Chain A
Amino acid sequence: MTTAEEILIDPALERVRTGIEAFDDLVMGGLPRGRTTIVGGTPGSGKTVFATQFLAHGITVLDEPGVFVTFEESPVEIEVNMASFGWDIRRWREMNKLVFVDASPRDHDQMVVGNFDLSGLLTRVLHAARNAAAKRIVLDSVTQLFDHFVAEQTSVRRELLRIATALKRDGLTVLMTAERNSEYGEISRHRIEEFVADNVVILRNALDRERRRRTIEVLKMRGSRHVEGEVPITLVVKQGIVAVPLSSLRLEQQSSTKRVTSGNPELDRMCGGGFFRDSITLVSGATGTGKTLLVTNFLAGGAAAGERALLVGYEESRGQIFRNARGWGVDFEAMEADGRLKVVCIYPEAQNLPDHLLMIRELIEEFKPDRIAIDSLSALERIAPETGFREFLISLTSFIKKHEIAGLCTATNKSLVGGQSASEQHISTLTDSIILLRYIQEGDFMHRGIMVLKMRGSEHDKQIRRFTIDGTGMHLGQPFDGAPDVFGDSAASWREER
């Protein structure tokens, strides 16, 4: 479709922020003002939430009133359904910041003969927009309009285009929702996007390994750039849609040279003086090698230095974690009572990965810790679709670093000696430091060994050191003689990494 408009591409289209923060980043700041955007999705994909949030942000933040043209639910139903997101639609209506055009199905008999137009709808919509001095307008969903005039598809297409053109002429930014039949089929029923849309956004709610995976994708932005690909989203009470983007994250974290203690002076020495303030360290090892002990030391060392420490546990209950700590001479109860420690335990299966990410982000924003431990990433990986886990890790690590927090994550090896876990593969390039804990056989004895495999921006001890665990914690001993194989058969990729 070549139109005059396509030739007149405005290099600096003014942007209308949707209030879905990460989504606005995907579309370079928001939806282009005075354009028409189609938001397509299957039933239950969050179209109405997206549309309402777009209006809500305009009304509550930017003082841009809106019009909601509803073809499906009645205004009262929308009021009720959207209340859980914290949107006080009734008040906005009373303040004339939001005006509804109620085109929801009404009970009447109808017969269509010959030609008609939708001037009734158009004048109602324009009247409402002028009434409220609206800047934003939502039509939800236009598919219903087609269903209302089921035998007159050509007329509806013509009229919808006429309505879109009239709204644009009035400078309104238009958001139309459209139904889709399947997650990966045609863009919308009636191919609405082909004749009326400047921009196309797709919301998906796909089943992936028995779990719902919600995503948003910007398919087309006429005359401007956008970030491509699906980005995970989640629906959050009191907020609405929250996108959890990967590609729009900027590498803006500054690197600190300030060191913090790992909680173990000997390990600090191995790392060349401790962990960096805004770095992520991965501790990898088989079960029983001492990962949780390192976590405990890390938290206790922070608290002792006057820092605030946050633990997000995915493997053990609070009771177990506190008992373990006591067994190594660390009193978590006292630390929590002092407000220096917060321990949050949750089953990985309790929620989806994007929700876990949001939970951690909220915890960080509330508690404002100086250090955070996550035990373990492997447990989280159980619930994750593959692509989702990498996105999760990138988002998480960049969020932690942005807040200049020292992070410690654990990953569990499936095999007891050597080997690497999938989370290691994902995270090895994302973390600044990697510490390996391994069972190492020497003659008839099984020892524990620790080594600092990678320490970004710092010298570190390259030796594999023996260590023992007793009632007072971890004790480092002499290096191993000879060269034990700490990698098992999958050594090649790790060595390349180095």
Chain B
Amino acid sequence: MSVSHRSNPEANGLLRLYVAGDGPGARRALASRLRIVEELAGGIEIQVVDVVADPDEAERAGILATPTLSDESTIPPRRLIGDISNIAQVLDYFGYRKKDSGYDHS
């Protein structure tokens, strides 16, 4: 899972976070999103897609589960489903390098 699929790990990336409405699960995921963006200090952008508000987008992307964090720039796309609060794990899965490697999230 630690193999990077990103051609250039230093470049700014774009991820999508699919959530459903504003229930507790969605709120937790949105909070984690902010921490991830903070962690990479602007090196990453995470667009939020609310599948309830935009089901067509969910259909296009073939989203079944929420929350799903998705990198659609890679082939094939990579998806992390469920709990994205473990930021080190998230960054590792999507092949991002932390700006401050001394910070321990676990």
On A, residues with C-beta under 8 Å from B are 101-103, 106-124, 126-128, 145, 148-149
Is the pair A117, B25 in contact by a Cβ cutoff of 8 Å? Answer: yes
**B31–chain A nearest beta-carbon distance, Å:** 14
Chain B contacts for A113, CB-based, 8 A: 80-84, 86, 89
Q: Which residues from chain A contact B63 at a C-beta distance below 8 Å?
A: 120-121, 124
Known: A116-B67, A120-B65; 20 extra A-B contacts, CB below 8 A, are A106-B62, A107-B77, A108-B77, A109-B76, A109-B78, A110-B79, A110-B80, A111-B81, A116-B25, A116-B68, A119-B52, A120-B66, A121-B64, A122-B20, A123-B51, A124-B51, A124-B58, A127-B56, A145-B64, A148-B64
> CB < 8 Å: which of A101, A102, A108, A117 contacts B65?
A117
B55 at the interface (CB under 8 A from A): yes
In the assembled complex, the Cα of A115 lies from the Cα of B29 at a distance in Å of 11
Size category of the binding interface on chain B:
20 to 34
A111 vs B3: C-alpha distance when bound (angstroms): 14
CB distance from A189 to the nearest CB of B (A): 19
Which of chain B's residues has its CB closest to A109's CB? Answer: B78
| Contact A127–B80 (Cβ < 8 Å) | no
Chain B residues near A102: list those with CB within 8 A. 59, 62
**In the complex, A116 Cα to B62 Cα: how many Å?**
16
A-contacting residues, B40-71, CB 8 Å: 51-52, 55-56, 58-59, 62-68
B82 touches A115 (CB 8 A): yes
**Which residues does chain B contribute within 8 Å of A121, judged by CB atoms?**
63-65
By a CB distance below 8 angstroms, the chain B residues around A149 are 65
**Interface pair B18/A120, CB less than 8 Å apart:** yes
Contact in complex: A120, B20 (CB < 8 Å) = yes
> B77 to A109, Cβ gap below 8 A?
yes
Closest B residue to A114 by CB, please name it.
Answer: B83
Q: List chain B residues, Cβ under 8 A from A123.
A: 20, 51-52, 55, 58
A102 closest partner in B (C-beta):
B62
Q: Which residue of A lies closest to B93 (CB)?
A: A111
Neighbouring B residues of A117 by C-beta, 8 Å:
20, 25, 65-66
Q: B11 interface residue, CB < 8 Å from A?
A: no
Cα distance A118–B77 in the bound complex, in angstroms: 19
A364 to chain B, nearest CB (A): 48
**Chain A residues with Cβ under 8 A from B51's Cβ?**
119-120, 123-124
Partner of B76, one of A107, A119, A148: A107
Q: State A124–B58 Cα separation when bound (angstroms).
A: 7
Nearest 5 CB-CB pairings of A with B: A114-B83, A119-B20, A127-B55, A120-B63, A116-B82
Q: Which residue on chain A has the smallest CB distance to residue B89?
A: A113
B24 CB to closest chain A CB (Å) equals 10
A124-B59 in contact (CB<8A): yes
Question: How many angstroms from the CA of A115 to the CA of B58 in the assembled complex?
Answer: 19
Tell me the bound Cα distance from A56 to B51 in angstroms.
29
Min CB distance A63 to B, Å, is 25
Contact B66 A112 (CB under 8 A): no
In the bound complex, CA of A212 to CA of B98 (Å): 61
Chain A residues near B59 (CB-CB < 8 A): 101-102, 124, 127-128
Interface centre among A106, A108, A115 (most CB of B within 10 A): A108
- Within the assembled complex, what's the spacing in Å between the Cα atoms of A121 and B51? 9
A-contact bits for B13-48, CB 8 A (1 contact / 0 none): 000001011000100000000000000000000000
Docked CA distance A3–B106 (Å): 44
